[in-house]
Structure 1
Amino acid sequence: MSQRVTGWVGWVWFCAFALLTIGLFNVISGLIAVFNDDKVLGWSGTQGAFVLDISTWGWVHLALGALLTLTGFALFGAAGWARIVAVVLVVINLVWQFVWLPVTPWWSLASIVLGGFVLWALTVHGDEVERAVS
């Protein structure tokens, strides 16, 4: 029995665009942080004060953004592996954005909301893209 492709396949194309957007903004945010000499003073109740170098966080943003962007392009090609990689990367990005929330609250919230839509669309309607292309 062949399953038909529905209009929901458009959500997966939206996911590809959203991944490109999230990835490119992470790359931009990462580049800004990498070239920033600022340090952040943090406080841990058990460990005391610590100094965090923003450029270290920038490298993680940069790498994660590059991977998200490449995966977004792969989703346009309806690659099955891209859906799995996208789900894993979006979950990592969601956790990362929660950690980064105090530094960039508005972008982190936007990224978390977009990531939620991406997860929903890829897990519910992701297989329709492969059927639509083949």
Structure 2
Amino acid sequence: MSEHWGAGADLTGHGTAGRPEHRRQSMWAGWLAFAGVLMVILGVFNAIAGIVALFHRGYYVAGPEYSLVLTLNGWGWAHLIGGVVVAISGAALFSGSVWARLVAVLCATGTALTHLVFLSAHPVWSAIVIALCVMVIWAVVVHGADARTGSPW
């Protein structure tokens, strides 16, 4: 029996010293918490960028050298709505559920693709956001199985 349960363990769940053994959560589960916090931050930043585009018309300048598919008003609404969705999906990652991980990967992919369009307008910021989105996708896909039901904390 000790081969299956480990040396010194018994069926009562107590270790060799009579203390209860606690299942340790994988240290990689912290990456899921990191991804959730990062998505909330990125979502808030995108929502703020959308609000600025909608209410402060002179802040962003769209010249002929930038290939924007939408008008500045359209991109403002896209960033505002997309930012809220990304922040909510990041908060949902704390549940550890499979659906939250799937939505988080889809939102991070969408955010990265959106910032790919803005690469010529804001190269440094867009590159940073794309890199952070790749980190979120990696954390969720590679370490998603380390999530337990409930909070990843």
Give TM class, smaller chain.
Answer: 0.7 to 0.9
Q: Which moved more, 1:24-33 or 1:53-62?
A: 53-62
Confirm whether residue 125 of structure 1 aligns to residue 143 of structure 2. Answer: yes
Compute the displacement of 1:79 (Å).
2.4
Conserved in 1, the CA contact under 8 Å of 2:39 and 2:89?
Answer: yes
Q: 1:53 offset after TM fit, Å?
A: 2.8
Q: Deviations over 1:56-99 (max 9, x none)?
A: 11111111100010011111122221100010111111110010
TM-score (normalizing by structure 2): 0.73
Q: Report deviation, 1:113.
A: 0.9
Do residues 89 (structure 1) and 107 (structure 2) align? yes
Whether 2:60 is the aligned partner of 1:42: answer: no
Letter in 2 for 1:93: T
Change (3 A) 1:35 1:132: closer
Call closer, same or farther: CA 1:22–1:57 in 2, change over 3 Å: same
Does 2:119 match 1:101? yes
Q: Is the 8 A contact 1:36 1:55 kept in 2?
A: no
User: Whose helix fraction is larger, Structure 1's or Structure 2's?
Assistant: 1
Unmatched 5+ stretches in structure 2: 1-23
CA shift at 1:102, angstroms?
2.1
Counterpart of 1:62 (choices 70, 76, 80) is 80
Structure 1 runs of 4+ with >4 Å offset: 49-52, 131-134
Q: SS at the partner of 1:103?
A: coil
User: Structure 1 stretches of 5 or more lacking a match?
Assistant: none
Letter in 1 for 2:147: V
Q: Does 1:7 align with 2:27?
A: yes
- Cα distance in 2 for partners of 1:6, 1:66 equals 30
| Residue in structure 1 matched with residue 20 of structure 2 by the alignment | none
Q: Output the CA distance in 1 between the equivalents of 2:95 and 2:150.
A: 11
Q: In the comparison of the two structures, how many residue pairs are matched?
A: 128
**Residue of structure 1 in register with 2:97 after alignment:** 79
